């Protein structure tokens, strides 16, 4: 009985060896064994990257189709000038506003407001995020209060800021600052908390101070999260700018919109809306360029989020 069992086992082993093919006698690696057992998923194939020109052409198809539909609607009378001006009329309005200097002055004012608000807001969010993410005492003292404030829509603060600061530039910049601070705070705090604690302890064993560890280890490790927070903050700076310039502005893109509304100039209104959209697009593009400069080791798909 024992001999028969041994013969069956030998035949089964020979069958497995023959099925494995040449080189089956070599010991399989741990990864191969795990994959054969179904414990490791097979590596997914990486899609071949499209040529840059093809990718750029595909990205422009959507805007071009929208522009063509807009022009067609205006040409057939489906869109009348009192509803929305045609692309040609909008282009003529751009020439008019740029020629008399109104557009350049308004754009400069709006960009200054957005930049100052972003500087103060993102800077405050970064500092608070590092303090609460790295220091236990900072988290216990500050995080709950910040989380409560984060749930308040920044538009709800407009009346309060008008009482505090009046109808001034300070109120507008403060509103943008509040709107941009919380995305950076959340990203910075999470990025700092996810820093490798073993690496931090190793740096402490070398005698580095806490702030030296933050500067040399924590901030570089949290860089992807910080850039993600910056992208959200820059986008919100444009959204908050639109709201801030509704506070009785006397200059800026919002002022141009108010004047155009009073005179039913849909061409100028379209120009201002397009400028706000282009500002948001430019802000996102600036962060992408910054990502490529600061994190060249990351794949393009991981940086830009392509394929989501």
Q: How many CB atoms lie within 10 A of CB 250?
A: 9
Backbone phi and psi for residue 225, each to the nearest 5 degrees, phi listed first:
-70, -40
Domain annotation covers residue 32: no
* Whole-angstrom distance, CA of residue 247 vs CA of residue 266: 21
- CATH number of the domain that residue 147 is part of: 1.10.3720.10
Domain annotation covers residue 276: yes
Classify each residue of 120-131 as buried b or exposed e, where b means 16 or more C-beta atoms within 10 Å of its C-beta. Answer: bbbebbbebbbb
Tens-binned pLDDT, residue by residue, of the chain (308 aa): 444 444 434 444 444 444 444 444 444 455 555 455 554 445 555 455 567 777 777 878 888 888 899 989 888 988 888 889 999 999 999 999 999 999 999 999 999 999 999 999 999 999 999 999 888 898 889 999 999 999 998 888 888 998 998 888 999 999 999 999 999 999 999 999 888 888 888 888 888 888 888 888 888 888 999 999 999 999 999 999 988 888 778 889 999 999 998 898 999 999 999 999 999 899 988 988 988 888 877 665 555 444 44
Which residues constitute the domain of residue 122?
84-304
Sorted by sequence, the CB contacts under 8 Å of residue 260 that are 6+ apart come out as: 266, 267, 268, 269, 272
- Site of tokens 């005492």: 137
* Whole-angstrom distance, CA of residue 243 vs CA of residue 247: 7
Can you give the pTM of this predicted structure?
Answer: 0.74
Domain annotation covers residue 219: yes
Domain annotation covers residue 265: yes
The helix or strand, by DSSP H or E, that contains position 186, with its residue range, turns out to be: helix 169-193
Domain annotation covers residue 206: yes
Domain annotation covers residue 285: yes
Tally of domains in the chain: 1
* Whole-angstrom distance, CA of residue 213 vs CA of residue 200: 7
* Whole-angstrom distance, CA of residue 269 vs CA of residue 106: 13
Domain annotation covers residue 71: no
Domain annotation covers residue 165: yes
């Amino acid at each position: 009985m024992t001999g028969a069992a041994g013969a069956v086992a030998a035949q089964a082993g020979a069958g497995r060896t023959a099925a494995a093919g040449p080189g089956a006698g070599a010991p399989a690696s741990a990864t191969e064994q795990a994959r054969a057992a179904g414990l490791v998923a097979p590596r997914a194939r990486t899609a071949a990257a499209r040529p840059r020109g093809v990718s750029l052409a595909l990205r422009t198809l959507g805007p071009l189709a929208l522009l063509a539909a807009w022009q067609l609607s205006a040409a057939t009378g489906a869109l009348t000038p009192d509803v929305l001006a045609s692309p040609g009329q909008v282009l003529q309005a751009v020439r008019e506003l740029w020629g008399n200097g109104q557009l350049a002055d308004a754009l400069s004012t709006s960009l200054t407001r957005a930049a100052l608000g972003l500087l103060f807001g993102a800077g405050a969010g970064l500092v608070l995020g590092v303090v609460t993410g790295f220091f236990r005492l900072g988290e216990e003292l500050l995080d709950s209060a910040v989380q409560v404030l984060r749930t308040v829509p920044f538009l709800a603060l407009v009346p309060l800021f008008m009482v505090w600061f009046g109808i001034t530039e300070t109120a507008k910049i403060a509103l943008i600052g509040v709107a941009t601070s919380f995305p950076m705070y959340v990203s910075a705090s999470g990025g700092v908390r996810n820093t490798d604690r073993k690496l931090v302890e190793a740096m402490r064993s070398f005698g580095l101070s806490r702030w030296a560890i933050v500067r040399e280890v924590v901030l570089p490790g949290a860089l992807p999260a910080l850039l993600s927070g910056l992208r959200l903050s820059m986008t919100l700076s444009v959204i908050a700018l639109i709201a801030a310039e509704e506070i009785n502005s006397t200059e800026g893109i919002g002022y141009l919109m108010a004047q155009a509304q009073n005179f039913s100039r849909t061409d100028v209104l379209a120009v201002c809306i397009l400028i706000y959209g282009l500002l948001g697009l430019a802000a996102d593009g600036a962060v992408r360029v910054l990502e490529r400069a600061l994190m060249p080791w990351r794949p393009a798909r991981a940086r830009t989020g392509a394929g989501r």
